[in-house]
Chain A
């Protein structure tokens, strides 16, 4: 924490994340209106005293919809990332520990998958499985797995040759102890940092899928979906597209800056004073 205070961009990231967190936790409580309530008389209004961010094509209050949508959007990002990181780390650690031909086989397969862009990959999976939040989340998680596996494996390989691991092997420790107590705790730093940064990608991917109609479905409230729904009215009221767009940007930037700061703080070379 003290280290974070000395890191200006990290502080900015943490602040943005705090704002997003407030929306996630208390959004529905502080939202001034019901996000699903139609007000046909007040369609596509600009910002005003009653509606701070204006209203959309059905006269729904945009601020309320953003506050309500935070939960779905952020949960999507965290959930997809967590699943992808867990699967990727498991595979990467297995490859790094096993070595030899198992490692080669796994890594060549992952190299092939890495060659496919994330968005294309998720689109492919969602197209095969069908849309919806659950499938979109799964798709993002699968798309993240190869990259995370690579990072986890690299971390394992660099730790595995360190002398304290060799000391444990020379003592005759069981492989389970060597991996669980000596290798794994020292590989988690880069994995955690990468995961934090990837949350922002996941949020953007989720929003993109929502925008394409392949993620969250109406009438649920999700930022990407909000942009998609309001797309045709963009020129009559820019606010109904800009507001959720900014919300996505704030969340993504927050996670991204925070992740960068975390990398600097956890890296022992950066800590030498």
Chain B
């Protein structure tokens, strides 16, 4: 790796800043790494660490307000910073490829997929139209697409997310580039699809010997596919070295913290057993949620009902003080269930909370709604941007008559803030003055303000950074234990759910396919889909921290 002659991509002592209205902001300081032929460097960092800035700098696609400091970016020994715009355009796509996070935005929706691959081949390899389409088909076949000729003629909206990402990868490999930058290529995909794309990446990388820069926030994933790892924090590389060494024996405090924050199924956050002999709190019987109402026009025209079933005949029960984890890929119906229980979706079937039973959304009264509180995925959207934290937290107190009078409400808001480990001064702040993790703490405090018996957590950690994720999960488990509330924890992160749930429910395309105590995750009688999910999730290597 240190042999400069053999390295394909070299970034040496590179610094970058952005001009903003409030003066320059340093994005990268003295970044230094190199990737040799046939090697994969995993670049790991949290959001805002500068990992995407590195990708832009290498591709010479920096925004107008970027100010480059010292340092060099070398591709096979040639300094890319010295290239003219024309030369850079010639290098991009031919000698450096790029795969972005979201294939649905990186492909042009108005062009056939085949056209988008052929374009690169015609532009950079000088093929004729006919040759380019034939070559494109061969490239698609190599990425494991079953019927490449058919895929060539499809438009992006006619392909699945995984298929689209395969097309993007085929395009990146089209001109046999020396180096490919992968910017979070599987983050936007489902667990199972992501796993397939990762396997594809490993295979193609080995076949072609391309030097790959793999940017990701997911340490467990990087530990599995990268040869070398560089950890970036606030624009500087904190630590770099072979993957096994970084994960096995990290030297820096930050790396250790990051690795410790990765959820590991074997490191439980709660007692393994739900309270013994606890009564049933929540029960679902044949709960079904349908989406889509017919518009007036289609009803008048007598058009057939076009309804989508979000969740079908769901039945399970949860005991007092139990944490039930619900997992599944996007569209599996896991959020649908949570929203139905929260009274946000119409449902049919029977819903029981304590000794009260309901057969529809309309029957859910305020007493029920107080007892069942929901926390949403994205704290940016779940807090009203025009209300201060005090107003946000005092609303449930007033609504349910928990606290009356200014002094008592203020005292209670202070207590709630301290419960979620936030200082009391935060009561005067607006949501945009808080970080993502702080906002999510406020959202959790709002749910617990109602003194609920059931808390529905809908992907509450997925929009947060790894280290923040861990602290939010710990906070939730702690609050849950203290208040004795029952908790439904919905997530796509299997490692996390195995850390904190007592029982796990698996959903697939609107059906509940599996339900088992967390200890039985590896039992042989698991549903095949559960097996697939568990196998698809990378578990961090090494045993550090």
Residues in A lying within 8 Å of B, measured CB to CB:
6, 100-101, 104, 162-164, 166-173, 181-182, 185-186, 268, 273
Contacts and interface: CB of A to CB of B under 8 A. Distances in A.
Given A163-B378, A169-B343, A172-B364, 5 more contacts: A164-B384, A172-B366, A172-B370, A186-B384, A273-B20
B525 interface: no
Contacts of A169: 343-344
B381 A170 contact: no
Interface string B289-311: 00001011100000000000000
A168 B378 CA distance: 15
B342 interface: yes
Contact of B344 (A170, A173, A185, A186): A170
Contacts of A101: 296
B399 A167 contact: no
Interface of B: 20-22, 293, 295-297, 342-344, 364-366, 369-370, 373-374, 376-378, 381-387, 395-396, 399, 443, 446, 450
B386 A104 contact: no
Given A171-B396, A172-B369, A172-B399, A273 B21 contact: yes
A166 B399 contact: no
Nearest to A271: B432
Contact of A171 (B365, B376, B395): B395
A166 B376 contact: yes
Contacts of B396: 171
23 contacts: A100-B296, A104-B295, A104-B296, A163-B377, A164-B383, A164-B384, A167-B374, A167-B376, A167-B382, A167-B443, A170-B342, A170-B344, A170-B369, A170-B373, A171-B370, A171-B396, A172-B343, A172-B364, A182-B384, A185-B384, A185-B386, A186-B384, A273-B20
A163 B370 CA distance: 18
A169 B296 CA distance: 25
Contact of A170 (B293, B296, B374, B386): B374
A162 B382 CA distance: 7
Contacts of A186: 384-386
Contacts, number: 62
A266 B531 CA distance: 50
Contacts of B370: 171-172
The 4 A-B residue pairs whose C-beta atoms are closest, nearest first, are A172-B369, A163-B382, A101-B296, A163-B381
Given A104-B295, A164-B383, A171 B450 contact: yes
A6 B21 CA distance: 9
Nearest to A105: B296
Nearest to A182: B384
Contacts of A172: 343, 364-366, 369-370, 399
A268 B385 CA distance: 11
A192 B172 CA distance: 46
B343 A164 contact: no
Contacts of B386: 185-186
A163 B373 CA distance: 13
A174 to B, nearest CB: 9
Contacts of B22: 273
B520 to A, nearest CB: 33
Contacts of A185: 384, 386
A172 B399 CA distance: 9
A169 B373 CA distance: 11
Of B21, B378, B384, most A-chain CB atoms within 10 Å: B384
A195 B142 CA distance: 57
Contact of B376 (A163, A173, A182): A163
A179 to B, nearest CB: 13
A168 B443 CA distance: 12
Contacts of B21: 6, 273
Given A172-B365, A173-B399, A104 B297 contact: yes
A164 B381 contact: yes
B382 A171 contact: no
A36 B378 CA distance: 64
Contact of B399 (A6, A163, A171): A171
Contact of B382 (A6, A164, A173, A273): A164
Nearest to B458: A163
B344 A166 contact: yes
A158 to B, nearest CB: 11
Nearest to B22: A273
Of A163, A173, A181, A182, most B-chain CB atoms within 10 Å: A163
B344 to A, nearest CB: 6
Contacts of A163: 376-378, 381-382
B245 to A, nearest CB: 38
Nearest to B378: A163
